Amino acid sequence: MRRTSGGRGSRSWRRLVASVAERPLLCVAMTFYWLWINLGFQMPVVFRPVVMGAGISVPSQLGPLFASAAAYLAISVWFARSRRTFKSGSFVTAVCVAMSVSSAFIVSWLAFTMAPSGTGGTMILLHESMAGASALLYATGSVLFGASSAFLCIELQRIFGSLGSEHVLFHGSVAMLVSVSAILVLSFVPEAVQCAVFVLAPLPIAPCLLRVRRGFTKQELFGRGVDAELNVPYKLLVTALLHGVSLGVLLGNPLFQSGNRALLACAVLGYAVAAALILAAAISARLSFNTLIYQIGFPIIAVGIYLIATVDDAALVGVSVQLAGFCFLHLVMWGACAFLIKSFDMPASWVIGTSTCLFMLGQLVGGVVSAAAGQFADASDMLDRVNVTMLLIVLGAALCMMSSHNLRTGWGLAKPDTESGLDNAFGRAVAMLASDAGLTKREGVVLAHVARGKNRQTVSEELCISKETAKSHMQSIYRKVGVHSQQELISYLEERARRADDG
């Protein structure tokens, strides 16, 4: 009797629960990491617009964004030249302490400069009398913030690169839901409490990560891809850049900089929706990275930008929708990076360093452009033009990059759980054959199972289809590929894998 998709969904939920239950401290570490990052970077909680002496308003996130981009770039270049990583547990502790210290510098800077804005939030006024001390606090906090967040992000991805992309989505979505719920609660407490949480949030991360790292060998965490050729994942880098620019345009918008409670509630709602959508689309439906990024993530961002630019009464809804798309895409990109690390044997320092550098640089560029547009006399019209331009870029990129080719440096037909059964070269051969032979999405899934030597009975049970349907798919695959048996298919795939490795 054929089982429904509900059986597949229930198994996905059981895998999620099992993954979190097996490593609960990893989920705790992710929760505090998201809490800290969202308070500092991606929600209107801690940072406020800086009003310069000439009345020019700029997002105060620009300093940490620049420092982060520089830190990720430096880590990538340093690794490419030295092939070294920091392995000691004391380094992780030092990074988390530096995160906390950076928050303390930023909070001290806020105490020097923050004043009521009259719009339900606050703004930062720079006076000449305090410019020197303020600049020192801001610069020190920004540098520490950028460097420490870069190192910790890479350390987290070392672990997820050993576990696989599906576990990134499991832990990332749960942690995101918990962290944004905490931020919503924090919106009702005094700002002094919010700042205290911002300073203290990084400290529990270190003991959690150190305990989690005990479950892996040093080779698993630090040996992956150390001697490998450092391929440049161009598709990943372009996607990360556009992802960052779209967020930066929003961060620099005066609407987002107002920092009122209604805006924060919309932001929290957007992030919560994104985490729920990850659970549904990436985990239960098991869609490919191409589909998740270019057919779901980018279009959601585009809808949010459209609402902000064209529907005045729905601007806050647009913010919520755009942040939902951003967060969804952010989690999927984490999964894609883990996939490249595990399946393509690429080092975390290189994959995360290069991609996140472009992501931060994109935020910086988008924030500067949006802030500059806001200084014109007709600021509203200029911001609408910026948003419409961003809308066209996002939709155009989604159309251009929706491709299953270039699997050596992209994602193609890969899904978040692809790493579980296929090694690097053989897995790429399977995915490329599915594309070259013009297989349907369902046939591609069947091919991945048949390539692992599974018989018709096993395929039908694991995919919740009848044996006759499995037989029909297998015959269609054989016909399109030009083979006559499962063994002939596997031999052909092995030959393609050898040629791919040689070339």
Burial of 111 (0-12, 13-18, 19+ CB in 10 A): exposed
- Any idea where the domains of the chain sit in the sequence? 20-401, 421-502
pLDDT at 209 over 60: yes
* Per-residue model confidence (pLDDT) at position 253: 83
Mean pLDDT, to the nearest integer, of 51-71? 79
Q: For the residues 302-310, what does the mean pLDDT come to?
A: 92
Which CATH number is associated with domain 421-502? 1.10.10.10
Query: Which residues, in sequence order, are CB contacts of 391 under 8 Å at separation 6+?
Result: 302, 305, 306, 309
**Residue range 116-140: average pLDDT?**
61
CA 473, CA 443: separation in Å to the nearest integer? 6
Give the residue, 344 or 198, on which the prediction is more confident.
Answer: 198
User: What are the pLDDT digits (tens) for 19-32?
Assistant: 899 999 999 999 99
pLDDT digits (tens, 9 = 90+) for 171-193: 999 999 999 999 989 888 888 89
What is the Cα–Cα distance from 138 to 133, expressed in whole angstroms? 9
Across the chain, which distance is largest between two alpha carbons, in Å?
Answer: 82
Is the per-residue pLDDT at 413 higher than 80?
A: no
As a whole number of Å, the end-to-end CA separation of the chain is 46
Q: List helix spans (H) across 23-50.
A: 24-37
Q: Which CATH number fits domain 20-401: 1.10.510.10, 1.20.1250.20, 3.40.50.1260, 3.30.950.10?
A: 1.20.1250.20
The percent of residues in the chain predicted with pLDDT above 90, rounded, is 40
pLDDT mean over 301-316: 89
If one compares 178 and 39, the residue with the highest pLDDT of the two is: 178
Report the alpha-carbon distance of residue 410 to residue 422 in Å, rounded.
16
- Predicted confidence at residue 119, as pLDDT, reads 41
Query: Can you give the pLDDT at residue 461?
Result: 77
Residue 8 is predicted with a pLDDT of 53
Q: What is the DSSP letter of 452?
A: T
CA R_g for the chain: 24
Q: What pLDDT does residue 45 have?
A: 60
Question: Rounded to an integer, what distance in angstroms lies between the CA atom of residue 286 and that of residue 275?
Answer: 15
Distance, CA of 277 to CA of 271 (rounded, Å): 10
Mean pLDDT of the chain: 83
Q: What pTM was computed for the model?
A: 0.80
Q: Which residue has the higher pLDDT, 47 or 18?
A: 18
Q: In a 3-state reduction of DSSP, which class is residue 46?
A: coil
Instruction: Say whether pLDDT at 128 is over 70.
Output: no
* Percent of the chain's residues with pLDDT above 70: 83
Residue 4 has pLDDT above 50, yes or no: no
**pLDDT value at position 466?**
85
At residue 365, does pLDDT exceed 70?
Answer: yes
Q: Give the model's pLDDT for residue 7.
A: 53
- Span 151-167, pLDDT tens digits: 999 999 999 998 988 89
With a cut of 80, say whether residue 56 has pLDDT above it: no
